[in-house]
């Protein structure tokens, strides 16, 4: 389809996948990404292989970046932001590039692939941003990329005890985020497995409500790790710092009906996936109201012909699910363009 132009907003794994699939079918694709680098959150994730691949999907992102950058039908603008968009026969798009140069583009279809934002746990009682040794799962992903043995952020010692706290900002009525973020159980258990392999003397405790086993490979890793970490079904409470620099976690154990205090050297908060908003107010430009869940899905986009959404912008997904979804959306776009 050499005479068709598609704009993709977002250079994470879904945006890149959709761009590649459309480019292979000879569409011209312009992809705009607001950050300096491509890959989105998943581009920061670590490989979680131990003696074998953990099937986390992180390496797919690198592969997609290389393919998109080298494809002649794809033009990528980093640090770009949408300025205006309107629709008559086609979408008339204006955006600013990295150097504040204004660019115009006429697109036959637009895919919103703006990904997600991570829940900010600063207002939760776990001491994030108050205590250096309380980090998020995304912080840990970056740490594991650079450290063989995991070290405590405050003083660089090897932690003897690490606690993972699950469902931070997900399935949480106090912040009106009732959904499960789908990826954090899998990602935390894979990272726990990696730490267990690298830090031989570190004990890992996993505080959870339920373990969600999304993805066909998950159960294998869950069975593998569950005997090597302390799985604690509990309701975590406040975190305090003791005078000698440890973290005291209070938690309620429903099975025993009692409140417990326990010391840890590091705490990892598995933060939820929350909607990123609506791409520089783009939905409002088309007169679309805010989606009820905050995630603009297909149903929500339907009133505007030629407007599509892909990947985690529509709701929580693993990397492989986001790739599969983006491939399917690329086909929907092609079918739409064929009818034009």
Residue numbers at the binding site for ligand SF4 (CB under 6 A): 47-49, 53-59, 166-167, 170-171, 180-182, 184-185, 210, 212, 270, 272
* Closest separation in Å from C-beta 305 to ligand SF4: 35
* Closest separation in Å from C-beta 64 to ligand SF4: 12
Which DSSP letter does residue 279 get?
Answer: T
Give the residue with the Cβ less far from ligand SF4, 181 or 313: 181
Give the residue with the Cβ less far from ligand SF4, 14 or 183: 183
* Closest separation in Å from C-beta 128 to ligand SF4: 16
- Report in angstroms the alpha-carbon separations of 76 from 15, 17, 279, 280: 11, 13, 17, 18
The span from the CA of 212 to the CA of 4, in Å, is 41
* Closest separation in Å from C-beta 214 to ligand SF4: 7
Which positions ≥6 away from 96 have C-beta within 8 Å?
80, 81, 83, 102, 103
Give the residue with the Cβ less far from ligand SF4, 214 or 336: 214
Give the residue with the Cβ less far from ligand SF4, 112 or 323: 323
* Closest separation in Å from C-beta 321 to ligand SF4: 13
Which residue(s) pair with 275 in the sheet?
Answer: 116
- DSSP-assigned letters across all residues of 129-191: TTSTTEEEHHHHHHHHHH-SS---TTT-PPPSEEEEEEEETSSBGGGTB-S--SSHHHHHHHH
The span from the CA of 315 to the CA of 118, in Å, is 12
* Closest separation in Å from C-beta 20 to ligand SF4: 18
* Closest separation in Å from C-beta 273 to ligand SF4: 8
Give the residue with the Cβ less far from ligand SF4, 49 or 232: 49
* Closest separation in Å from C-beta 57 to ligand SF4: 5
Give the residue with the Cβ less far from ligand SF4, 5 or 196: 196
Contact at 8 Å (CB) between 319 and 325? no
Give the residue with the Cβ less far from ligand SF4, 131 or 207: 207
Helix or strand or coil: residue 73?
Answer: coil
Which residue(s) pair with 308 in the sheet?
Answer: 111
**Dihedral of CA 124/130/132/133: which sign?**
negative
The span from the CA of 185 to the CA of 228, in Å, is 16
Contact at 8 Å (CB) between 266 and 159? yes
Tell me the H-state helices in the chain: 13-24, 58-70, 137-146, 184-198, 218-225, 282-285, 298-301, 319-339
Measured in whole angstroms, the distance separating CA 94 from the mean position of its chain's CA atoms is 27
Give the residue with the Cβ less far from ligand SF4, 15 or 57: 57
Give the residue with the Cβ less far from ligand SF4, 51 or 89: 51
* Closest separation in Å from C-beta 103 to ligand SF4: 34
């Amino acid at each position: 389809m050499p005479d068709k132009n598609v704009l993709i907003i977002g250079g994470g794994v879904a945006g890149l996948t959709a761009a590649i699939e459309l480019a292979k079918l000879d569409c011209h694709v312009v992809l705009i990404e607001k950050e300096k680098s491509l890959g989105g959150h998943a581009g920061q994730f670590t490989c979680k292989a131990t003696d074998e691949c953990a099937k986390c999907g992180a390496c797919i992102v690198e592969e997609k970046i290389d393919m998109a950058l080298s494809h002649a039908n794809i033009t990528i603008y980093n640090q770009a932001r949408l300025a205006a968009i309107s629709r008559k026969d086609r979408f008339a798009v204006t955006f600013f590039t990295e150097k504040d140069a204004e660019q115009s583009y006429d697109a036959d279809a637009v895919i919103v692939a703006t990904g997600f934002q991570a829940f900010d746990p600063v207002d939760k009682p776990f001491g994030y941003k108050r205590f250096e040794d309380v980090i998020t799962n995304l912080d840990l992903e970056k740490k594991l990329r650079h450290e063989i043995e995991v070290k405590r952020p405050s003083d660089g010692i090897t932690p003897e005890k690490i606690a993972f706290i699950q469902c931070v900002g997900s399935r949480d009525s106090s912040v009106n985020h009732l959904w499960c973020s789908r990826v954090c159980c899998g990602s935390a258990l894979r990272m726990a497995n990696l730490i267990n392999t690298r830090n031989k003397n570190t004990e890992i405790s996993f505080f959870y409500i339920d373990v969600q086993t999304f993805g066909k490979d998950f159960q294998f890793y869950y069975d593998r790790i569950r005997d090597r970490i302390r799985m604690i079904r509990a309701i975590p409470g406040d975190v305090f710092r003791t005078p000698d620099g440890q973290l005291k976690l209070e938690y309620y154990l429903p099975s025993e009906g009692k409140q417990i205090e326990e010391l840890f050297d590091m705490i990892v908060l598995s933060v939820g996936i929350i909607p990123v908003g609506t791409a520089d107010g783009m939905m409002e430009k088309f007169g679309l109201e805010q989606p009820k869940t905050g995630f603009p899905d297909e149903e929500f986009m339907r009133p505007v012909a030629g407007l599509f959404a892909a990947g985690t912008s529509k709701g929580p997904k693993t990397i492989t699910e986001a790739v599969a979804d983006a491939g399917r959306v690329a086909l929907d776009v092609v079918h739409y363009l064929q009818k034009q």
